[in-house]
Amino acid sequence: YDPDLHPFEVAREYTRAMNAVKMERIFARPFICGLDGHRDSVQCITKHSTQLSLLLSGSCDGEIKIWNVAQRVCQGTIPAHNGFVRGICVIPDGEAFYSVGNDKLIKRWTMNNYETPAMTIVGKHVFTSIDHHYKNPQYATSGETVSLWDEQRAQPLQTFKWGADSHVRVKFNPIETTVLASCAADRSIILYDTRQSVPLRKITLRMNSSTLAWNPLEAFVFTTANEDYNLYSFDIRYLQRPFNIHKDHVAAVTDVDYSPTGKEFVSGSYDKTIRIFPSDKGHSRDIYHTKRMQHITCVQWTSDNKYVISGSDEMCLRLWKAKASEKLGVTRNREAETLEYNEALKEKFSHFPKIKRIARQRHVPKHVYHAKREHKTIQDSQKRHEANARANSKPGSVPFVSERSKLVLEEEE
Amino acid sequence: MATRRTKKWLHVKERKSKFATRQATRSEILHVEEEGYIVPDAVDDEDERIVDLTQADIKSSVDIFSAQKRFDLQLPLYGPYHIDYTRNGRHLLLGGRKGHVAAFDWQTKKLHCELNVMEQINDVKWLHIETMYAVAQRQWTYIYDNQGVEVHCLKALDRSLHLEFLPYHFLLAATNEAGYLSYIDVSIGKKVAAYNTKIANGNGKCGTSVMCQNPSNAMIGLGHAGGVVTFWSPNQREPVVKMLAHKSTIRSVAVERTGTYMATSGVDAKLKIWDLRTYKCLNEYRTASTGASTLTFSQKNLLAASYRDIVEIYKDLYDEESSSTELPRYLVHQCPNGSSIASIAFCPYEDVLGVGHERGFVSLLVPGAGEPNFDALEANPYQTKKQRKHAEVKQLLDKIQPDMITLDNSVLSEIDRKAFVRKQEDKQKEFNFVKPKELIAKAEKKKGKIGKRLARKSQIHDAKLKEFLQQKQLKRQKTKK
């Protein structure tokens, strides 16, 4: 290879990187379709554990719909509960699924029988969510307390209690299958182990968390969606501070779900937008919004890493591409090589100002744009006050405190 | 302050780039061709000198395919001919001063078009591809299709004396009779810049026709009447570099392909070789009475110079060992009938020198002039029509914007320290709570005994490696012979 035969290497590569980034923005059309049918706002979505194309969604009028996403049709509707359907979870074999609702019932349904549930359990209090163990025939519900149930029994195996508040969400760890986490209404997050009778740890944040999601590839990482517009990623080995704060939403974050690669997650928020974050970065890499889409209640990332599904207040489920400019369908070898080359170029030249500007550019709804600006001025003024205080007092009396360490108010065992 | 993660990332990147370089060197096994020079049987033999070899001798001793490349075209009617080869060395364009233009594939002698533009022609130039060429006619510059159809009339380039085409930027540069240097982007047809290049030399002379291109950084070099050589970029009104090369008018300038050496010749009968990195004169030679009227470098750093009706080719001009003031002549050719030479050009990727003179065109064999291995993704002499079309689209997509033309190409790949410092300062002014960011400090040279030892060791290692590689190459050459 003689570099003299190829002059202007950097300039040509830079031009190609510019073209690549511009084309990415040209082809960024993430919205695929909307799934209509619910008659009230969608409350929860779950993907099927074994079948890629199946999706179960529960709405606020007690209906559960089973969708075939590949064919974009609703396979069946089940009038499941009187009141909200709060949570659905599919058992690992994929034969049956559980649903909980505002009528204090846990119902077990088999996949083909939409008339009657296979089992109904009456509970003592309203259940807010349900999650199944990744291997064993056990599941956990959250409500006033977090209870661990066995599939055969009608009484919970174990009940965990810490404080008197109700729990909003419970999630099993997919890798460390005995570990659970729940979000409680007293702004705390509690970790449990099913092998112990007492909860493990409790951390209290500044504001309430609506949900949490475990990283499917890193056993000790979970991300919570908080009402102070941020998402926090915690390492369970060191709960004193989150190792990452994800900021970009302008209203309470309502749901979060990880991609099966564990490298990214999607979050939906009350501000009518969906954002996709890389799990190690503090800001989102993409934002999805539509005029028709109102407050988002639930999001899911499909198991083939390609699509993101969102359910919102206006009774509609929407299917989006996870990578907005990805070409769906068969890509030939040469095309795939060019796409990979373009990705490499974009990464290599990512810090050049023009390229960064084009890559970052997103059209954002007006309310989000204005809200962001306002938040920025608030933050800047706070920082300025702090800087002035620091400048005008004894050096060292106003230390630099990182935002991450300010978050967790207390940790208890 | 590199965190463990960034260190790991850097480590991965370095490993990947090392792998890439190793793969690139391995792929050199695909370079099946090697250049060959004429080497004398015995060195310093006065009876047999390479210089005494005529083209007839060379033609009779090479294979028939190469012998075909030695031909004469007798076109006595239409004046001294300007010539140009396309980038892949396949097509030739002839423009006679009295208006005769001909474009043909010189290897198969297939004529694309032949026309007379009925005007004086000052220069001809191929554009990026063999379907379009530009002719600098008396009044304006025209662009023709390879069928001879006039496609554009560029009124912005009026009364041009000399044309240069920058292939990676799609810029056609032209010097004017009135002393203007204009750049036109031929892909979008817009004039990019036009600058007045008059250098005050007391007699208000008009524009110069001495022009050359530095292929490595796309600078246009002009030679002026006072012996000044200037380099221009389309981003600046003033010349980027201005150097006093000769004590009299410059007759010709040429820059070598990698942009390290420049050859200039002046009316004072001197031929000077300059190092363009330091702008110092490396060698100075005395030439025939009037100085070389045209100079051109080949891909393998042979220099061809024309003196009225003689063209001389020099080899090893910047060998450090030779300190003589005698020009190291390799080959010499005299045009028949004493017709003076108007332009010379080496054909890329071929061992051929094309000479356009008063009575036609002559194509000379110069063993060792061209690059033997072409990269088909850059310039493919054996293009099919489809490949040509695809290549044109790729070239257009990779077109570099004219504001990226700089003197030093490595600027784009280095950290912009000034901009970083300026940004920090601006931020500090706005909000005075910026946590000071550290820029990666330049790796300091290790001083002290251990540092010196390490430096010496690496030097020795490099020298040994170089020697080893040279030995290997010599061995390979010997076995080939």
pLDDT given for residue B478 in this prediction = 77
pLDDT given for residue B47 in this prediction = 60
Q: How far is B172 from chain A (nearest CA, A)?
A: 18
Helix axes B385-397, A9-26, angle to 10 degrees: 90
For residue B352, which of B369, B335, B334 has the smallest C-alpha distance?
A: B369
Asked if residue A129 is part of any domain, the answer here is yes
The predicted-structure confidence for B201-251, as pLDDT tens digits, reads as follows 445 556 778 999 999 999 999 998 888 999 999 999 999 999 999 998 899
Among B433, B434, B439, the residue to mutate for chain A (most A Cβ within 10 A)? B433
Q: How far is A317 from chain B (nearest CA, A)?
A: 39
Q: Per-residue pLDDT for B320 more than 70?
A: no
Q: Per-residue pLDDT for A32 more than 70?
A: yes
Q: For the residues A407-412, what does the mean pLDDT come to? A: 78
Query: Does the distance separating the beta carbons of A14 and B412 come in below 8 Å?
Result: yes
**For B378, nearest residue in chain A (alpha carbons):** A6
Q: In chain B, what residues touch A15 (CB-CB under 8 Å)? A: 397-401
Q: Provide the residue type at B2 as one letter.
A: A
Q: How far is A365 from chain B (nearest CA, A)?
A: 28
**Beta partners for residue B254, in sequence order:** B263
Mean pLDDT score of chain B, rounded to an integer? 87
Q: Per-residue pLDDT for A12 more than 90?
A: yes
Q: And the tokens for B342?
A: 């108007």
pLDDT given for residue B439 in this prediction = 63
Three-class secondary structure of residue B410 per DSSP: helix
pLDDT given for residue B287 in this prediction = 86
pLDDT given for residue B206 in this prediction = 64
Residue B25 region by backbone torsions, left for phi larger than 0, else alpha for psi between -120 and 50, else beta: alpha
In this complex, is the C-beta atom of B4 within 8 Å of any C-beta atom belonging to chain A?
A: no
**Among A9-18, B126-135, B397-406, B430-439, the least confident range:** B430-439
Q: Per-residue pLDDT for B200 more than 60?
A: no
How many percent of chain B have pLDDT more than 90? Answer: 55
Number of CB atoms found within 10 A of residue B77's CB: 10
Number of CB atoms found within 10 A of residue B269's CB: 18
The predicted-structure confidence for B359-389, as pLDDT tens digits, reads as follows 999 999 999 898 888 888 899 999 999 999 9
For residue B239, which of B224, B260, B254 has the smallest C-alpha distance?
A: B224
Domain that holds residue A260: 27-321
pLDDT given for residue B44 in this prediction = 59
Q: How far is A391 from chain B (nearest CA, A)?
A: 9
Q: How far is B415 from chain A (nearest CA, A)?
A: 10
Q: In chain B, what residues touch A5 (CB-CB under 8 Å)? A: 371, 375, 378
Q: How far is B258 from chain A (nearest CA, A)?
A: 6
Q: Per-residue pLDDT for B325 more than 80?
A: no
Give the separation between CA B41 and CA B53, rounded to whole angstroms.
Answer: 13
Q: How far is B480 from chain A (nearest CA, A)?
A: 21
- Residue pair A101/A84 in contact by the 8 Å Cβ criterion: yes
pLDDT given for residue B436 in this prediction = 60
**Among A117-131, A241-255, B128-142, B442-456, the least confident range:** B442-456
Three-class secondary structure of residue B363 per DSSP: strand
pLDDT given for residue B324 in this prediction = 66
Three-class secondary structure of residue A151 per DSSP: coil
- Among A4, A12, A387, select the one facing B431 at the smallest CB separation: A387
Q: For the residues A156-185, what does the mean pLDDT come to? A: 90
Q: How far is B400 from chain A (nearest CA, A)?
A: 6
Give the separation between CA B281 and CA A249, rounded to whole angstroms.
Answer: 64
pLDDT given for residue B48 in this prediction = 61
Query: Does the distance separating the beta carbons of B24 and A8 come in below 8 Å?
Result: no
Q: Per-residue pLDDT for B126 more than 60?
A: yes
Among A8, A13, A388, A400, the residue to mutate for chain B (most B Cβ within 10 A)? A8
pLDDT given for residue B433 in this prediction = 60
Query: Does the distance separating the beta carbons of B432 and A380 come in below 8 Å?
Result: no
Q: For the residues B185-198, what does the mean pLDDT come to? A: 92
Sign of CA dihedral A208, A211, A216, A219: positive
Number of CB atoms found within 10 A of residue B392's CB: 14
In this complex, is the C-beta atom of B30 within 8 Å of any C-beta atom belonging to chain A?
A: no
Concatenated DSSP letters for A188-211? EEEEEETTSSS--EEEE-SS-EEE
Q: Per-residue pLDDT for B434 more than 80?
A: no
- Residue pair B37/B367 in contact by the 8 Å Cβ criterion: yes
Give the separation between CA A309 and CA A327, rounded to whole angstroms.
Answer: 18
pLDDT given for residue B202 in this prediction = 47
Query: Does the distance separating the beta carbons of B375 and A19 come in below 8 Å?
Result: no
Q: Per-residue pLDDT for A123 more than 80?
A: yes
pLDDT given for residue B461 in this prediction = 82
pLDDT given for residue B205 in this prediction = 55
For residue A128, which of A96, A176, A83 has the smallest C-alpha distance?
A: A83
- Residue pair B250/B291 in contact by the 8 Å Cβ criterion: no
Asked if residue A391 is part of any domain, the answer here is no
Asked if residue A409 is part of any domain, the answer here is no
Q: In chain A, what residues touch B218 (CB-CB under 8 Å)? A: 8
Which one is predicted more confidently, B269 or B49? B269
Give the separation between CA A72 and CA B310, rounded to whole angstroms.
Answer: 81
The predicted-structure confidence for A327-344, as pLDDT tens digits, reads as follows 998 999 999 999 999 999
What CATH number corresponds to the domain at position A187? Answer: 2.130.10.10
- Among A10, A388, A400, select the one facing B413 at the smallest CB separation: A10
Q: In chain A, what residues touch B216 (CB-CB under 8 Å)? A: 4, 7
Asked if residue A96 is part of any domain, the answer here is yes
Query: Does the distance separating the beta carbons of B216 and A19 come in below 8 Å?
Result: no
How many percent of chain A have pLDDT more than 90? Answer: 79
Q: Per-residue pLDDT for A25 more than 90?
A: yes
Number of CB atoms found within 10 A of residue B204's CB: 8
Among A1, A18, A19, A351, the residue to mutate for chain B (most B Cβ within 10 A)? A1
Q: In chain B, what residues touch A4 (CB-CB under 8 Å)? A: 216, 257-258
Q: Tokens 């792929």 correspond to what residue?
A: B27
Q: Tokens 């600027």 correspond to what residue?
A: B411
- Among B258, B399, B410, select the one facing A15 at the smallest CB separation: B399
pLDDT given for residue B457 in this prediction = 83
- Residue pair B245/B217 in contact by the 8 Å Cβ criterion: no
- Among B397, B404, B433, select the one facing A11 at the smallest CB separation: B404
In this complex, is the C-beta atom of B178 within 8 Å of any C-beta atom belonging to chain A?
A: no
Which one is predicted more confidently, B374 or B123? B123
Burial class (CB in 10 A: 0-12, 13-18, 19+), B344: buried
In this complex, is the C-beta atom of B240 within 8 Å of any C-beta atom belonging to chain A?
A: no
- Residue pair B437/B424 in contact by the 8 Å Cβ criterion: yes
Q: For the residues B111-137, what does the mean pLDDT come to? A: 95
How many percent of chain B have pLDDT more than 70? Answer: 90
**For B31, nearest residue in chain A (alpha carbons):** A1
- Among B398, B399, B412, select the one facing A10 at the smallest CB separation: B412
Give the separation between CA B174 and CA B162, rounded to whole angstroms.
Answer: 6
Among A5, A355, A382, the residue to mutate for chain B (most B Cβ within 10 A)? A5
Q: For the residues A211-234, what does the mean pLDDT come to? A: 94
- In the structure, what pLDDT confidence band is assigned to residue B255 with cuts at 50, 70 and 90? very high
User: Is the complex ipTM more than 0.90?
Assistant: no
- Residue pair A284/A248 in contact by the 8 Å Cβ criterion: yes
Query: Does the distance separating the beta carbons of A400 and B435 come in below 8 Å?
Result: yes
- What are the residue boundaries of the structural domains of chain B, listed by start? 49-78+293-366
**For B410, nearest residue in chain A (alpha carbons):** A10
**Beta partners for residue A131, in sequence order:** A140
pLDDT given for residue A324 in this prediction = 94
Give the separation between CA B383 and CA B298, rounded to whole angstroms.
Answer: 22
Tally of domains within chain A? 1
Q: In chain A, what residues touch B25 (CB-CB under 8 Å)? A: 1
Q: In chain A, what residues touch B399 (CB-CB under 8 Å)? A: 15
Q: How far is B76 from chain A (nearest CA, A)?
A: 38
For residue B299, which of B215, B409, B187 has the smallest C-alpha distance?
A: B215
Q: What are the angstrom distances between the C-alpha of B475 and each of A55, A125, B373, B469, B472?
A: 70, 90, 20, 10, 5
Asked if residue A257 is part of any domain, the answer here is yes
Chain A residues whose C-beta sits inside 8 Å of any chain B C-beta: 1, 4-8, 10-12, 14-16, 19, 380, 383-384, 386-388, 390-391, 400
Q: Provide the residue type at A43 as one letter.
A: Q
